[in-house]
């Protein structure tokens, strides 16, 4: 299968297959992509944007699945549960659990502030959120707090947190570039490490739990070997801009890093050698990235609102080049609703009708993919 999923800033989400015409897009206001999460079997992809909207998509058919999530505050992260039935979102006003199919709100976690991030344990039985200078555990089934907060220094902001696969440890990353490893049962720090010169953007464990990868605003990612109460960093994996995401493939053989420099890089986890380079400079700064469960695909999302699927081995797009050029022309050619209202004085209804007419004309005159 050859496919590409796109969410342009003007508010179009469309999944393409190179051997057929694109499916009709979902009309939606655009925003920076803050969350990409594959379903456990790799057939679906959750896309969340900072415009407080998220949608699950079928990679095979290109159609949206279930109801769209519409929140009141901007999302800062989003992830599917282990069985794919729940969506966990962090936002400027807290963290919430949603029914994946209906879009109904299942539970709101009782945070006093907005959440920087939220993630599940491996079995999705627990949740860890980050807010201000602390991380907090929650029981997924009830929304109850579990234990006291995992607290960093007063001047720090805890930006990211992740469970080890066995659930016994949590890694937290901070705005001062430090990483803490916590014993979950004892609620105490086992390891403090500080080898980054910029804020931590993400932390993620390997599937066996013996390694951790961190992404930093200093333009590097580090792979940490975890043993005997120590964290030993690797040679830095370098970008020319902030590294905003880093994760292991499920088999732990490769590491994916994504950066504001417009590239996502796939590295050999053992040697640190570059395996594939994904160049998305034309689409803007990459703000989110994820491996598919089988490790064959990489999904990237940008601040300009585009999401692409790439071959993880070659770094090549999974879309016919002609369609990519055509899509870009469509994006630039159809003015978004907000722009029509603000600049031309159109009503919202008139603006939506105008946008729909423009999109339909472009679809009707599109060349067949080669």
369 within domain boundaries: no
* Tokens describing residue 324: 């990519």
Q: By the 8 A CB rule, do 261 and 239 touch?
A: yes
Give the model confidence (pLDDT) of 294-333 as tens digits. 999 999 988 888 888 899 999 988 754 434 444 454 444 5
Residue whose entry in the numeric block shows the structure tokens 């500080």: 194
- In terms of Cα–Cα distance, which of 123, 57, 129, 50 is closest to 88? 129
End-to-end Cα spacing for the chain: 15
* Tokens describing residue 295: 């490790």
Give the model confidence (pLDDT) of 347-362 as tens digits. 988 888 888 887 776 6
pLDDT of residue 7: 39
Confidence check: pLDDT of 336 > 90: no
pLDDT of residue 260: 95
Confidence check: pLDDT of 220 > 80: yes
How far is residue 336 from each of residues 33, 69, 114, 366, measured CA to CA in Å?
Answer: 17, 21, 29, 20
**Element at 361 (helix H, strand E):** helix 348-364
266 within domain boundaries: yes
Arithmetic mean of pLDDT, 206-234: 93
pLDDT of residue 281: 58
pLDDT of residue 127: 98
85 within domain boundaries: yes
Which CATH number covers residue 166?
2.130.10.10
302 within domain boundaries: yes
55 within domain boundaries: yes
Number of domains in the chain: 1
- For 84: left if phi > 0, alpha if psi spans -120 to 50, otherwise beta; the answer is left
370 within domain boundaries: no
18 within domain boundaries: yes
How far is residue 285 from each of residues 243, 258, 271, 289, 367, measured CA to CA in Å?
Answer: 10, 9, 27, 11, 29
pTM: predicted TM-score of the whole model, two decimal places: 0.80
Give the CA dihedral 16, 17, 22, 26, nearest 10 degrees.
-40
Residues of the domain holding 183: 3-364
Confidence check: pLDDT of 65 > 90: no
* Tokens describing residue 196: 């980054």
């Amino acid at each position: 299968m050859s496919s590409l999923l796109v969410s342009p800033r003007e508010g179009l989400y469309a999944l393409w297959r190179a051997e057929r015409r694109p499916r009709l897009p979902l009309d939606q206001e655009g925003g920076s992509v803050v969350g990409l999460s594959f379903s456990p079997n790799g057939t679906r992809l959750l896309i969340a944007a900072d415009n407080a909207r998220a949608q699950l998509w079928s990679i095979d058919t290109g159609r949206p699945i279930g109801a769209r999530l519409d929140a009141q505050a901007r999302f800062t992260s989003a992830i599917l549960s282990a069985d794919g039935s729940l969506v966990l979102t962090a936002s400027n006003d807290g963290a919430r659990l949603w029914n994946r199919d209906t879009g109904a709100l299942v539970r709101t976690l009782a945070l006093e502030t907005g959440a920087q991030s939220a993630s599940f344990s491996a079995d999705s039985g627990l949740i860890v959120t980050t807010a201000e200078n602390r991380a907090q555990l929650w029981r997924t089934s009830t929304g109850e707090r579990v234990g006291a907060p995992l607290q960093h220094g007063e001047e720090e902001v805890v930006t990211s947190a992740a469970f080890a696969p066995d659930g016994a440890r949590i890694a937290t990353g901070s705005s001062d570039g430090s990483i803490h490893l916590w014993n979950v049962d004892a609620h105490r720090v086992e390891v403090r490490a500080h080898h980054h010169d910029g804020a931590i953007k993400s932390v993620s464990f390997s599937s066996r739990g013996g390694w951790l990868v961190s992404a930093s605003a200093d333009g590097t990612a580090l792979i940490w070997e975890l043993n005997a109460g120590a964290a030993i960093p690797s040679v830095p994996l370098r970008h020319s801009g902030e590294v905003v995401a880093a994760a292991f493939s499920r088999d732990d053989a490769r590491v994916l890093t994504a950066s504001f420099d417009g590239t996502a890089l796939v590295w050999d986890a053992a040697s640190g050698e570059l395996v594939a380079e994904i160049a998305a400079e034309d689409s803007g700064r990459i703000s989110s990235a994820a491996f598919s469960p089988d490790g064959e695909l990489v999904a990237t999302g940008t601040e300009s609102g585009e999401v692409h699927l790439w071959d993880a081995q070659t770094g090549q797009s999974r879309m016919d080049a002609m369609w990519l050029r055509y899509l870009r022309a469509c994006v630039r050619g159809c003015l978004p609703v907000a722009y029509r209202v603000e600049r031309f004085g159109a009503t919202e209804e008139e603006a939506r009708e105008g946008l729909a007419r423009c999109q339909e004309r472009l679809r009707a005159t599109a060349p067949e993919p080669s």
